Amino acid sequence: MVVSLVTELRENQFNGLNIQESISASRVNAVSIFCVPLITLPDLAPLLETLLLYHGGSSKEILSSEFLESVNDAFLKKKISLPESVVFSLWLRHLPSLEKATLHLLDQLFSIQLNSLEEVACVIKDSLLPQAASHPAIFRIVNEIFKNALMETDGTSEVLTIIQVFTQLFLQAHQTENEQHKFPLKAYFPYHHQPLVRSLVRRPFELPTTCWSQHVKHISDMLKALVEDKNASSFTDLFEIWFLVACFGEWLDIAAEQLVKAAVEPDPVLWLLAFYYCPKNENQQRTQTVVGNVVIVEAQAVYNHLMMLFNCADLSVKDLEAAVQRVTDPELCCNQRFTTHLLTSFLLFSPGGHKIAQECICHITEITDTSKEVHNLLIRTAHRFNHSGEENQRTAKLLNELLQKLTLKV
């Protein structure tokens, strides 16, 4: 019966213009309903695949919604296996299934202890969503769900890290697409400033490390011009710009690293990081609403303090007291994540920071709720080291030790 139905559907697909020989939409719908209780049977797989790839002459969906939901549920629970093209067809023709697959992925990532970005990437890639996102419609819908998840969780570092890894995997899938079928970047980011998109999309490993500081400054300059443009009049516009930057957070981690290494002009990078961590300040005027002067002054003070100590080979936690106090001050909650990022980067990349890194980070995470923030920053940095191969063994060893200690806390 399965072979007979598959043959009938496939012949009809190729012969669809012949009205007399075409199968009626109601018959195809009936076949899909017939399949619902049998979906997990291995022998039914060819028929499932043929139905999901079948498109009749009607502009309306001819497959039963119950069938589409049941196939999606069985696929998400790994009760059935389907070729990628079939899964993509399912999600393109049935939006609720795509939404459910995205939320299922988020649930998975939140429910398991992830100790490396490789593990995060493995779970995301296994979902097939980054590969499916090569189709712009799927990419934009998944991105919208991520955006809502980010707002509902008040911008937690876990969600940001998930979005950043997803974006990296999507770019990998997009770059390996056949040129004939590849969509232009504008199809994925249609309403954004395209020069900024192109700069953010460049992966760090595509550029020599000596060009990183110049690239970060270029991103900051373009971003500042956009943010201070009077045409970007609404908070919605500004949030969309911020979210675009957040999707490519790898460059923000590199910006902080370049900053503490004094490898870049500080003012544009401080502004970039302030925009990322403190995109709004309700009490100030329009252009200052986005990046408040107070935030910049605070960040500059922490940065100057850290730079005075950068080349000290013999540091103590007491030497960093001023920076640590800013991290632990509850009144500076907006600036807390920014300062934590600067301080963590300083401990990783300064000559004397290695000796006190464990003590200092343990102290901070014990008296604040920044454990997950620091943990996510460390796994992102470790991932970058593993793929670039340009950092020394000493820093890599320190990262592993810090991650082992922090894993017990998060």
Distance CA 317, CA 295 (A): 24
Other CB atoms within a 10 A radius of the CB of residue 196 amount to 20
Question: Cβ neighbours of residue 22 under 8 Å, at least 6 residues apart?
Answer: 12, 15, 16, 56, 57
* pLDDT of 18: 46
Distance CA 275, CA 271 (A): 6
Distance CA 127, CA 82 (A): 12
Task: Spell 199-221 as b/e; 16+ CB within 10 A means b.
Answer: bbbeebeeeeeeebbebbbebbe
Distance CA 352, CA 360 (A): 12
* pLDDT of 14: 59
Per residue of the chain (410 residues), give pLDDT as tens.
999 999 888 887 655 444 444 578 888 999 999 999 999 999 999 999 999 999 876 678 999 999 999 999 999 999 999 999 999 999 999 999 999 999 999 999 999 887 889 999 999 999 999 999 999 999 999 999 999 999 998 888 899 999 999 999 999 999 888 777 789 999 999 989 999 999 999 988 889 888 999 999 999 999 999 888 766 556 678 889 999 999 999 999 999 999 988 878 899 999 999 999 887 643 344 444 445 566 777 788 888 888 888 888 788 888 888 777 777 766 655 578 888 899 999 999 888 888 899 888 888 888 877 888 899 999 999 888 877 655 567 788 888 888 888 776 65
Distance CA 324, CA 332 (A): 12
Distance CA 94, CA 92 (A): 6
Report the first-to-last Cα separation within the chain, whole angstroms.
54
